[in-house]
C-alpha cells in the first residue's frame, strides 16, 4: 500500500528481524546512494523539481508533506516502537494535537489522572472548545479489575489515554489489561511512552493502537531539540494521521529530524546507563533518613513493582521523592545542588532536579495536585549519566 509517505510497509520489512540496538543505528537508513556518505544527508529543501506537471523527478513534492531526512527518522522510530508507520512532529504537544484531531465534536476520552502538565492543559483548556470531553480517573486501580474501565465510558467514548509510568508520581498502568477492554469496546488506546522510551516499553506489543513520544526527552537525550513522534501499526489510522500531518503542518524540520536520528543511535546504551544510575541512586535515597519516601518502579517498595517487571524491560531514569521537611527545606535542596541542574524537562545526559508543584505541574489546579500527592516537599529527578558518587555527594551537600 502506498500512502503519501510511500510504501513504508516495504521499507520497514527490510529491517524487521533486527534487534533494537541495531535498529537504533541503522533503522530506516542507508548510505546516500549518490555520494556513498555513511551519514544520511540533511535535505534542506522545501520543494522538489517535477519532470512534467504532477510528475516529480523523485518521490517527493513538498517538504511539509514529506522530506527524505524526516522519512528516514519516521521509519526508524516506527521500527524502534515495533510498528509500521511513524510520524515525526515539531514537539510532543504537536503529536498529541495530531492525535486528538482524529476526534469529532461530541466525542469523549477517558484519561489517566496523572498526566504531563501540558497534556492536561490541552485536554482541559483547549479540547473542550473543540467539543471534546476528557474525564480523568485513577487507572492504576484498574489493574485488579480492568473491566471497570468500561463503566467509566459512555456511548460517546472514542479514545483512552494512558501515560505509564505517570508523571510525576510514577504510577503504573496495566496497558495490556486496558487494551483488552478497549478492543472489546472499539475504543482507540493511546499510550504516551516518553518516560520509558522504546527501549524499556513497547505499548504496541501490549495492545495499544498509537504510541506517542515527546522526543524532546530520552529519544533526543541531549536537551537540545524539541520534537515529537507517533507510531501505529494500523494502515487505516496511518492514512488519517498522514492526511492530518500534511493538512495541519504537524512535522519536524529536516535538521531536527537528522539530530534526533543521530541521538537515537545511542538510545539503547543511554537508557541502560540511565537506569543503572537511577536504580543505585534510588536505593541509596531510600536508605537515607533525609528522604521521607522514594518512588522508583525498580524498587521492591514500589506498589506496582510486579507490574513493572511484567510490562517493562527496564525501570527508566526517573525518580520521585518526598524530602523530609517543609517547602523551605525542599527549596533549599533545589537551590543548592551543583551537578544536578534545577530545570524542567527530563531524559538528557545531564541530571536535572525540579519541584513539580511549582514547575512542571503548576498548570494543575491546587486541589488536583493535593489529591495526587504533588505537595511542598515533593521533588522529581531525571538521573543523567554523570558519575553516581558525584551525584550522591551533590545531594548530600545540598541537604546539609
83, 228, 297, 316: residue in contact with ligand PLP (rule CB under 6 A):
228
Specify the stretch interacting with ligand PLP by CB under 6 A; choose among 39-47, 55-63, 192-200, 271-279: 192-200
Please report, for residues 6, 240, 246, 397, the alpha-carbon distance to residue 3 in angstroms, rounded to integers and kept in the order given: 5, 10, 12, 57
Residues in contact with ligand PLP, shown as a per-residue x/- string from 117 to 146 under the rule CB under 6 A: -xx---------------------------
Alpha-carbon span 337 to 330, nearest angstrom = 11
Tell me, letter by letter, the H, E, C secondary structure of the chain: CCECCECHHHHHHCCCCCCHHHHHHHCCCCCCCCCCCCCCCCCCCCECCEEECCEECCCCCECCCCCHHHHHHHHHHHHHCCCCEEEEECCHHHHHHHHHCCCCCCCEEEEECCCCHHHHHHHHHHHHHHCCEEEEECHHHHHCCCCHHHHHCCCCEEEEEEECCCCCCCCCCCHHHHHHHHHHHCCEEEEECCCCHHHHCCCCCCCCCEEEEECCCCCCCCCCCCCEEEEECCHHHHHHHHHHHHHHCCCCCHHHHHHHHHHHCCHHHHHHHHHHHHHHHHHHHHHCCCEEEEECCCCCCCCCHHHHHHHCCCCCCEEEEEECCCHHHHHHHHHHCCCCEECCCCCCCCCEEECCCCCCCCCCCHHHHHHHCCCCCEEEEECCCCCHHHHHHHHHHHHC
74, 107, 113, 163: residue in contact with ligand PLP (rule CB under 6 A):
163
Per CB under 6 A, which of residues 81..100 are in contact with ligand PLP? 91-93
Alpha-carbon span 25 to 265, nearest angstrom = 4
Whether 32 is catalytic: no
| Position 381 contacts ligand PLP (CB under 6 A) | no
Whether 331 is catalytic: no
Considering the complex, state which of residue 157 and residue 167 has its C-beta at the smaller distance from ligand PLP.
Answer: 167
Specify the stretch interacting with ligand PLP by CB under 6 A; choose among 1-9, 49-57, 209-217, 329-337: 209-217
Alpha-carbon span 352 to 338, nearest angstrom = 10
Alpha-carbon span 311 to 273, nearest angstrom = 20
Alpha-carbon span 352 to 197, nearest angstrom = 18
Specify the stretch interacting with ligand PLP by CB under 6 A; choose among 111-119, 171-179, 287-295, 318-326: 111-119
Catalytic residue among 158, 171, 217, 270: 217
Cβ 191 to ligand PLP shortest distance, Å: 10
Cβ 116 to ligand PLP shortest distance, Å: 4
Considering the complex, state which of residue 90 and residue 135 has its C-beta at the smaller distance from ligand PLP.
Answer: 90
| Position 226 contacts ligand PLP (CB under 6 A) | yes
Catalytic residue among 113, 192, 209, 256: 192
Please report, for residues 80, 224, 254, 259, the alpha-carbon distance to residue 75 in angstroms, rounded to integers and kept in the order given: 9, 22, 14, 15
108, 114, 192, 354: residue in contact with ligand PLP (rule CB under 6 A):
192
Cβ 214 to ligand PLP shortest distance, Å: 3
Cβ 292 to ligand PLP shortest distance, Å: 25
Whether 289 is catalytic: no
C-alpha grid cell, residue 229: 513522534
Specify the stretch interacting with ligand PLP by CB under 6 A; choose among 124-132, 210-218, 279-287, 368-376: 210-218
Cβ 216 to ligand PLP shortest distance, Å: 4
Specify the stretch interacting with ligand PLP by CB under 6 A; choose among 150-158, 191-199, 298-306, 333-341: 191-199
Cβ 92 to ligand PLP shortest distance, Å: 2
Cβ 117 to ligand PLP shortest distance, Å: 9
Cβ 295 to ligand PLP shortest distance, Å: 16
| Position 384 contacts ligand PLP (CB under 6 A) | no
Considering the complex, state which of residue 12 and residue 231 has its C-beta at the smaller distance from ligand PLP.
Answer: 231
Specify the stretch interacting with ligand PLP by CB under 6 A; choose among 30-38, 79-87, 187-195, 276-284: 187-195
Considering the complex, state which of residue 68 and residue 297 has its C-beta at the smaller distance from ligand PLP.
Answer: 297
Instruction: Enumerate the active-site residues.
Output: 64, 116, 192, 217
Q: Which residues bind ligand PLP (CB under 6 A)?
A: 91-93, 116, 118-119, 163, 167, 192, 194-195, 214, 216-217, 226, 228
Amino acid at each position: 500500500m502506498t500512502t503519501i509517505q510511500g510504501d513504508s510497509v516495504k521499507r520497514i520489512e527490510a529491517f524487521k528481524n533486527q534487534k533494537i540496538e541495531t535498529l537504533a543505528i541503522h533503522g530506516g537508513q542507508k548510505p546516500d546512494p549518490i555520494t556513498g556518505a555513511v551519514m544520511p544527508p540533511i535535505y534542506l529543501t522545501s520543494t522538489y523539481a517535477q519532470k512534467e506537471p504532477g510528475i516529480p523527478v523523485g518521490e517527493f513534492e513538498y517538504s511539509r508533506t514529506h522530506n527524505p531526512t524526516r522519512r528516514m527518522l519516521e521509519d526508524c522510530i516506527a521500527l524502534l516502537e515495533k510498528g509500521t508507520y511513524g510520524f515525526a512532529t515539531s514537539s510532543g504537544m504537536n503529536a498529541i494535537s495530531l492525535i486528538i484531531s482524529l476526534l469529532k465534536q461530541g466525542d469523549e476520552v477517558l484519561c489517566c489522572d496523572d498526566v504531563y502538565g501540558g497534556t492536561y492543559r490541552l485536554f482541559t483548556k483547549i479540547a473542550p472548545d473543540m467539543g471534546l470531553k476528557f474525564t480523568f480517573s485513577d487507572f492504576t486501580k484498574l489493574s485488579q479489575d480492568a473491566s471497570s474501565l468500561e463503566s467509566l465510558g459512555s456511548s460517546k467514548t472514542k479514545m483512552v489515554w494512558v501515560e505509564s509510568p505517570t508523571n510525576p508520581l510514577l504510577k503504573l498502568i496495566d496497558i495490556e489489561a486496558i487494551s483488552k477492554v478497549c478492543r472489546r469496546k472499539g475504543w482507540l488506546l493511546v499510550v504516551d511512552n516518553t518516560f520509558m522510551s522504546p527501549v524499556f516499553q513497547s505499548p504496541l506489543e501490549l495492545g495499544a493502537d498509537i504510541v506517542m513520544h515527546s522526543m524532546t526527552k530520552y529519544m533526543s537525550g541531549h536537551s537540545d531539540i524539541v520534537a515529537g513522534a507517533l507510531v501505529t501499526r494500523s494502515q487505516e489510522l496511518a492514512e488519517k494521521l498522514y492526511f492530518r500531518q500534511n493538512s495541519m503542518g504537524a512535522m519536524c524540520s529536516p535538521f531536527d529530524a537528522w539530530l534526533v536520528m543521530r541521538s537515537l543511535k545511542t538510545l539503547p546504551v543511554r537508557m541502560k546507563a540511565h537506569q543503572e544510575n537511577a536504580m543505585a541512586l534510588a536505593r541509596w535515597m531510600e536508605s537515607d533518613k533525609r528522604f521521607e519516601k522514594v518512588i522508583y518502579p525498580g524498587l521492591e517498595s514500589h506498589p506496582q513493582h510486579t507490574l513493572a517487571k511484567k510490562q517493562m524491560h527496564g525501570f527508566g531514569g526517573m525518580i520521585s521523592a518526598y524530602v523530609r521537611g517543609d517547602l523551605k527545606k525542599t527549596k533549599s535542596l533545589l537551590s543548592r545542588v551543583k551537578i544536578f541542574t534545577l530545570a524542567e524537562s527530563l531524559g538528557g545526559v545531564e541530571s536535572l532536579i525540579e519541584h513539580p508543584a511549582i514547575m512542571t505541574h503548576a498548570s494543575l489546579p491546587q486541589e488536583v495536585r493535593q489529591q495526587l500527592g504533588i505537595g511542598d516537599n515533593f521533588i522529581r529527578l531525571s538521573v543523567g549519566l554523570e558519575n553516581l558518587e558525584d551525584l550522591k555527594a551533590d545531594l548530600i551537600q545540598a541537604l546539609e
